[in-house]
């Protein structure tokens, strides 16, 4: 196998990428996810056990594989923790083999609220979003107002940035969509609590990937 292998979906999803990746993981050292969010999903069957994943790369079921969530992924800390705990309950080591980019944009409660409010406002013209905040989180990234995993490493500064961000988002929710504002302090607390669960896995994944390639690792 070549040192690096890229699996791409050439249609609109559901091509079976996750299953193909899992078939190849016996021969690789790293499996890297580079984009998307927990709206995606792949169901794997290993040794007769079915596992559904939404954020963590397929390779996590192979004990020799290290999994990377790259900076193109919009990350819901709560969804990631839920997935980690599910795998841990099944006997898999996760955090010690997981690498989460410091630059992953965060999906927080407000992004879910915006996603659902926007979809409801469309009425019969709704587009069928999963309502998990993926689109609004990417919008924040592109507009340069979004927060990233690295921001949550400093709780005090993180709280300041969230409060500033929420002046904008709560205005949109209450004035444009005529819906309830998001509880800012509760959102800060729940996000920081979730990130703390996988804090040891957070790193500069770009540097990690380059170093691993130089060391001859297969990914």
Q: How many helices (H) and strands (E) does the chain have?
A: 7, 6
Identified catalytic residue from 38, 42, 99, 169? 42
Tens digits of per-residue pLDDT, 47-63?
Answer: 778 888 999 998 898 88
What is the average per-residue pLDDT within 117-131? 86
Domains, in order of start, for the chain: 17-104+198-214 (3.40.440.10), 109-197 (1.10.300.10)
* Residue 14 confidence class, pLDDT cut points 50, 70, 90: low
99 assigned to active site: no
**Closest of 23, 50, 21 to residue 33, by C-alpha:** 21
Identified catalytic residue from 14, 64, 154, 210? 14
> Rounded to a whole number, what is the largest CA-CA distance in the chain?
56
42 assigned to active site: yes
Q: For the chain, give the percent of residues with pLDDT over 70.
A: 94
Give yes or no for a contact between 134 and 37, defined as CB atoms under 8 angstroms apart. Answer: yes
């Amino acid at each position: 196998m070549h040192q690096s292998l890229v699996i791409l979906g050439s249609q609109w999803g559901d091509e079976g990428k996750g299953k193909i990746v899992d078939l190849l993981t016996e021969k690789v050292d790293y499996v890297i996810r580079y984009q998307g969010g927990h709206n995606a999903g792949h169901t794997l069957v290993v040794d007769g056990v079915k596992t559904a994943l939404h954020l963590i790369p397929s390779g996590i079921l192979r004990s020799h594989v290290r999994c990377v969530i790259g900076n193109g992924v919009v990350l819901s800390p709560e969804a990631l923790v839920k997935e980690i705990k599910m795998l841990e309950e099944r006997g898999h080591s996760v955090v010690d083999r997981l690498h989460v980019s410091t630059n992953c944009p965060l999906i927080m409660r407000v992004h879910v609220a915006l996603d659902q409010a926007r979809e409801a406002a469309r009425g019969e013209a709704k587009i069928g979003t999963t309502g998990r905040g993926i689109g609004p989180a990417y919008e924040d990234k592109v507009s340069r107002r979004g927060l990233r995993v690295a921001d949550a490493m400093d709780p005090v500064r993180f709280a300041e940035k969230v409060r500033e961000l929420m002046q904008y988002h709560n205005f949109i929710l209450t004035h444009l969509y005529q819906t309830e504002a998001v509880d800012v302090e509760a959102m800060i607390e729940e996000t920081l609590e979730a990130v703390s669960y996988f804090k040891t896995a957070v790193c500069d994944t770009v540097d990690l990937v380059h170093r691993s390639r130089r060391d001859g690792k297969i990914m």
